[in-house]
A and B are shown apart, each in its own frame.
Chain A
Amino acid sequence: MTLDILKQGAEGRLYLGEFKGESCLIKERFVKKYRHPDLDTQITRQRMKAEVKAAGRCLAAGILAPRIFHSDLNTHKLYMEYFGSAQTAKQFIQKTVNESGEEQAKPLLEKLCTQIGGIIGKMHANNIIHGDLTTSNILINPNATGYDIIFIDFGLSHYNQATEDKGVDLYVLERALLSTHSEQPYLFDYILAAYQKECGKDEEAVLAKFEEVRARGRKRTMIG
C-alpha cells in the first residue's frame, strides 16, 4: 500500500493511513543518512519512546495530545490520532493578525495565549517537559463552541521535576515566539501570566530559574 505523504516535518514524514480500520496519522522517522547509523538508531528510538510516554502522561493529566494507537520501533512508525481540520498556532496567529488587523487581533490572541500558558503550566505541574515548544507544535482544532488546543511533537520531551528543565522549556518558547512572531512581542507575556497560575507549587523557583536561563543567553559572549 502506498501512502499519500502529507508533509515532511523536521522529524520525519507524515502520512495519512489506517490502523485497525480507523483512519490515522502515520509519522515515520525515516533513517537520516547524514548521521552515523548508531547515533541515528539511538536518537530515533529515544524520541519515539519519549513521544509515546508523553502522550500517556498528558492523557492522565487531562492535557490534550494526539492519542497513540500503535508504535513500531523497527519501521520507525507511530500511528496516532489525526486532526484533519486543525491548523497550527503559527498559522492561526498569522491569519488572525492578517484578517482582523493588529488592534482587533490583540484580545483574540490574548485569549489564545492565556489558554496555551495555562496548559504549559499544567504540563510542568505534572513534570512533563515538552522540550520543543514552538507555535508549529501547537494545534488549534475547531470544536462546537470554539477550539481545542492540542500539543504535538513530544519527541524531545522528558519527565523531570527540575526547575532547570522547566526554565529552559519556557526560554525555548520565548525565543521561538520572538523569532516567529516578531510583530506581536506581547504574546509571551500573556502566556507567562497564565502559566504562573497553573504551574503548581514551584512557581517562584521556576520563574527564578527561567530568569537565570535567560540571563545566560544574553550574557554569552559572542566572539567571531
Chain B
Amino acid sequence: MVCALGIEGSANKIGVGIINNGKVLANVRRTYITPPGEGFLPKETAKHHREAILGLVQASLKEAQLKPADLDVICYTKGPGMAPPLLVGAIVARTLSLLWQKPLLGVNHCIGHIEMGRLITGAQNPIVLYVSGGNTQVIAYSNKRYRIFGETIDIAVGNCLDRFARIIKLSNDPSPGYNIEQLAKQGKQYIKLPYVVKGMDVSFSGILSHIEELADPSKRRNKRKKQQDEPEPEYSQADLCYSLQETIFAMLVEITERAMAHCESNEVLIVGGVGCNERLQQMMGIMCEERNGKVFAIDERYCIDNGLMIAHAGAEMFKAGAQMPLEDAFVTQRYRTDEVLVNWRKD
C-alpha cells in the first residue's frame, strides 16, 4: 500500500493529487488564464502558482480525508517545463517532505501522463500519443524505457493551436484549444494547408505561418502576389479552425498509425492536454477501426496536467524502490521521456 501526494506545476496549471494504491482520493487544480491574445509568461505563471499551491494542498488533504501522517511519499514534477513554475512545486514538495518527514521523489512529467493514462484506461502496452502544449511524441515501451518513435521537429501541436488562438484573439478560458474545438464545429469549408510528415516525425511551424497569413493578410511575408484585381479570398474563423484541426490531427493520426505498423501493436492511448479534443479522439478511433485496433482516451480531469498523475507515477517508482536524496531534488527544463529507467514495469 502506497499513499502518495503529487504536485504538478510545469506550465500554466498547478495541481495537487492524492492516490492510495491506485485509488483516486483527490485531484484538485487551478489554471492561470491570460487575456485573449496573450500567452502565459514564466514569471507571472509562477506568481499565480505561489498564491494557489498551499490552498490546493490543504484542499486535497481535506477531500481525501487524510492527515499528513497517512502519506508515504511526496512527489513533484522534476521536468520538463518552465523553470519558475516548476520551482514553485519543487520548493513546496521539499518543504513538506522535511516538515512531515516523508520521502521525496521527482517525477518526469511525460511519464506521469503515460502512467496515468494506463491506470485510468487499463491499457496494457499501447502506443502512446502524447500531445500537449509543449510536447508531441509517439511513444512505445520496450526494454524498460518509453522510447520516442516520432515527435515534432519544431513546435508542439498544442503550441500551434494556442498561438493560432492568440492570432484570432480567441479566449483562453477554459483553454484556447477547447475554444478552437468548439468554433471548428461550425466550420464548413476545408482550406488546403501544408501537410508535413517526415518519416515518423511531424512539423507544425510552417502550417502556423501559413494559416497566420490567411487569418491576417497584412502579415503576409511573401508579397509576390500583388495583382490588385485578384480579390482576397475570405475565410471565416470557424473555417480556419476547422481546417487547422483536420490537417494537424490527420498528421498525428498518420504517424501513430505508422508506429503501430512498425511495432505491430493494435492499441493506442492518447494523453496530454490536446488529447481531450473529441475530434482527435474520433479520428484516432476511425483509424483504429480500419485496422482492428482499439483507442483509449481519457477525459480532461486526467488528460490535462494534474497532480494525480505525478502522485501515481511517483507511487509506482516508490514501490519499485526509488529514492531521492534532498540534494537531487532540483528541477530541469529539459528532461526527455526516454531518459527515465522504467523499472516498475515487469514486461
Choose one: A32, A36, A176, A220; the contact of B200 (CB below 8 Å): A176
Contact indicator A221/B134 (Cβ below 8 Å)? yes
Quick one: given A216-B153, A224-B81, are A131 and B199 in contact (CB under 8 Å)?
A: yes
How many Å lie between the Cα of A34 and that of B291 in the bound state?
A: 12
Contact indicator B142/A224 (Cβ below 8 Å)? no
Contact indicator B257/A10 (Cβ below 8 Å)? yes
Q: Provide the B147-170 mask, 1 if CB < 8 A to any CB of A, else 0.
A: 111111110100000000000000
Task: Tally B residues with Cβ within 8 Å of A.
Answer: 56
Contact indicator B195/A32 (Cβ below 8 Å)? no
How many Å lie between the Cα of A175 and that of B143 in the bound state?
A: 16
| Smallest CB separation, B79 vs chain A (Å) | 8
Contact indicator B140/A179 (Cβ below 8 Å)? yes
B286 in contact (CB, < 8 A):
yes
Task: Identify the stretch in B171-179, B232-240, B333-341 within 8 Å (CB) of chain A at 4 or more residues.
Answer: B333-341
A172 in contact (CB, < 8 A):
yes
Q: Provide the B108-149 mask, 1 if CB < 8 A to any CB of A, else 0.
A: 011000000000000000000000111100001011010111
A85 in contact (CB, < 8 A):
no
Quick one: given A131-B198, A216-B153, A224-B10, are A35 and B257 in contact (CB under 8 Å)?
A: no
How many Å lie between the Cα of A58 and that of B96 in the bound state?
A: 64
Contact indicator B109/A134 (Cβ below 8 Å)? no
A43 in contact (CB, < 8 A):
yes
| Smallest CB separation, A154 vs chain B (Å) | 12
Contact indicator A156/B132 (Cβ below 8 Å)? no
Quick one: given A32-B287, A224-B135, are A39 and B250 in contact (CB under 8 Å)?
A: yes
Task: Tally A residues with Cβ within 8 Å of B.
Answer: 39
How many Å lie between the Cα of A2 and that of B137 in the bound state?
A: 38
Residues in B neighbouring A131, C-beta threshold 8 A: 198-199
How many Å lie between the Cα of A42 and that of B190 in the bound state?
A: 13
Residues in B neighbouring A179, C-beta threshold 8 A: 140, 142, 147-149
B269 in contact (CB, < 8 A):
no
Residues in B neighbouring A34, C-beta threshold 8 A: 250, 253, 282-284, 286-287, 290
A-B contact count (CB 8 A): 130
B224 in contact (CB, < 8 A):
no
Choose one: B132, B143, B246, B282; the contact of A224 (CB below 8 Å): B132
| Smallest CB separation, B267 vs chain A (Å) | 15
Interface residues in B249-264 (C-beta closer than 8 Å to A): 250, 253-254, 257-258, 260-262
Contact indicator B134/A182 (Cβ below 8 Å)? no
**Chain A residues close to B by CB (< 8 Å):** 8-10, 30, 32-36, 38-39, 42-43, 90, 131-134, 136, 156, 168-169, 172-173, 175-176, 178-180, 182-183, 213, 216-217, 220-224
Q: A32-B290, A131-B199, A220-B152 are in contact. List 4 more A-B contacts (CB 8 A).
A: A8-B261, A35-B250, A38-B192, A178-B147
List 22 A–B pairs whose Cβ atoms lie within 8 Å, in order of A's numbering. A10-B257, A34-B283, A35-B250, A38-B192, A42-B195, A133-B199, A168-B198, A172-B199, A176-B262, A178-B147, A179-B140, A179-B147, A182-B142, A221-B333, A222-B80, A222-B134, A222-B135, A222-B334, A222-B335, A223-B10, A224-B10, A224-B109
